[in-house]
Amino acid sequence: MNSVLQSARRIVIKVGSAIVTNDGRGLDHTALANWSYQIAQLMAMGKEVVLVSSGAVAEGMQRLGWEQRPSSIHELQAAAAVGQMGLVHAYETSFRAHQIGTAQVLLTHDDLADRTRYLNALSTLRTLLSLKIVPIINENDTVVTDEIRFGDNDTLGALVTNLIEADVFVILTDQSGLYTADPRVDKTATLVSEAQAGDINLEKMAGGAGTGISRGGMLTKILAAKRAARSGAHTIIASGREANVLLRLAQGERIGTQLITTSTPLSARKTWLADHLQVRGKLIIDNGAALAISNEGKSLLPIGVTAIEGDFARGEVVACVTTEGKVIARGLVNYAANEACKIIGLATNQIETTLGYIDDVELIHRDNLVRLN
């Protein structure tokens, strides 16, 4: 099978801290110029490209003369704010050399979790692509705290892939792809050239980050590929240092690890629901409800719920969790927590008599429910 990049029309490319920043010593301008050249060529082939780039914290540290990645969140935020200037300036300069404009897009998890902001981000990105501008996306580190962050740019890249319904998500890093074990630790590890995105065995192979400046490591890349597969995107993990890696992939050459999806893509709305990294509460469901949701794609009725956790409002996203603690689905709940706890365990015909009114017979309607595996 040829590289899936060959036939892809819309692509998200993520470049990690490990390669943007010359092992944490400021930006690698030669590498940036190189990727910009290759992306310009992909665009000349008629492909649309969105770039997710890390490197703000590393560049900020360099500009501030800090040797170690700071541990305080405020110093990290300050470094990111300083470094983001250098990062976008470097991309703008290197793309200008190919007569291509760039746009800075900084996102937080909240931006994509809120339906209206999500749709706004989508329209902006679509408009930029139609104008042949390359959006350069990073997390808006200056305003995020641990509770509301994507955490790493692999996850952000997957969410952007789902947002714009890209065909392929390319993750460029400092290794040649996914190995059977972390090659820094296990010298006998071999490259996995192709696998199914979402294959649970891949998660056992993947370890943590390789450099002090990077965040995710290989595991977040594997999980990001699983996420991107929900909207139908294939993922390629390859070395950003491989000569002309993007051009060769676009010509069909197989480089790195190709993670393929064959499952039917979820609708955009269900992908959006699945991509909520945080939920407002949990509904603990019995085995009957779990089977009805997982096997038959049914709605969740109050009678199948045994307990409620969290304080949520009507319309917020909650997780459906089995009594063994497994999250099997996620959806938009029809009743606020204080009302929901009065009707759980009750038959449908008891809802109105208990609450004095009835909005919906379902706690979560199947159209607003996405199954997770």
Ligand X SMILES: N[C@@H](CCC(=O)OP(=O)(O)O)C(=O)O
Is 153 assigned a ligand-binding role in the annotation? yes
Cα→Cα distances 109→71, 203, 206, 231, Å = 21, 24, 24, 18
d(CA 355, CA 307): 17
Strands 281-285 and 369-371, sheet pairing:
unpaired
CB neighbourhood size of 159 (10 A): 30
Site for ligand X in 213-242 (CB under 6 A): 214-216
Considering only CA atoms, which of 52, 55, 49, 53 is closest in space to residue 134? 49
Q: Which of 55, 177, 198, 240 binds ligand X (CB under 6 A)?
A: 55
Strand, helix or coil at 41? Answer: helix
The residue count for binding ligand ADP (CB under 6 A) is 24
Is 93 assigned a ligand-binding role in the annotation? no
Smallest gap from Cβ 47 to ligand X, in A, equals 22
Is 294 assigned a ligand-binding role in the annotation? no
Stretch binding ligand X (CB under 6 A), from 35-43, 126-134, 211-219, 248-256: 211-219
Tokens of residue 229, six digits? 């597969």
For residues 89 and 365, which CB has a smaller minimum distance to ligand X in the complex? 89
Site for ligand X in 88-147 (CB under 6 A): 138-139, 141
Tell me the torsion sign for CA atoms 206, 212, 215, 221: negative
Mark residues 11-50: x for contact with ligand ADP by CB under 6 A, - for none. Answer: -----xxxx-------------------------------
> Is residue 173 part of the contact set for ligand ADP (CB under 6 A)?
yes
56 binds, options ligand X, ligand ADP, none, Cβ within 5 to 8 A by partner type: ligand X
**Which amino acid is located at 100 in the chain?**
I
Strand, helix or coil at 247? Answer: helix
Q: Which of 79, 205, 224, 285 binds ligand ADP (CB under 6 A)?
A: 205
210 binds, options ligand X, ligand ADP, none, Cβ within 5 to 8 A by partner type: ligand ADP
Instruction: For residue 239, count CB atoms less than 10 angstroms from its CB and return exposed for 0-12, middle for 13-18, buried for 19 or more.
Output: middle
55 binds, options ligand ADP, ligand X, none, Cβ within 5 to 8 A by partner type: ligand X
27 binds, options ligand X, ligand ADP, none, Cβ within 5 to 8 A by partner type: none
Residue pointed to by tokens 């074990």: 181
Q: Which residues neighbour 288 within 8 Å (Cβ) at sequence distance 6 or greater?
A: 304
List binding-site positions for substrate: 54, 141, 153
Residues of the binding site: 14, 54, 141, 153, 173-174
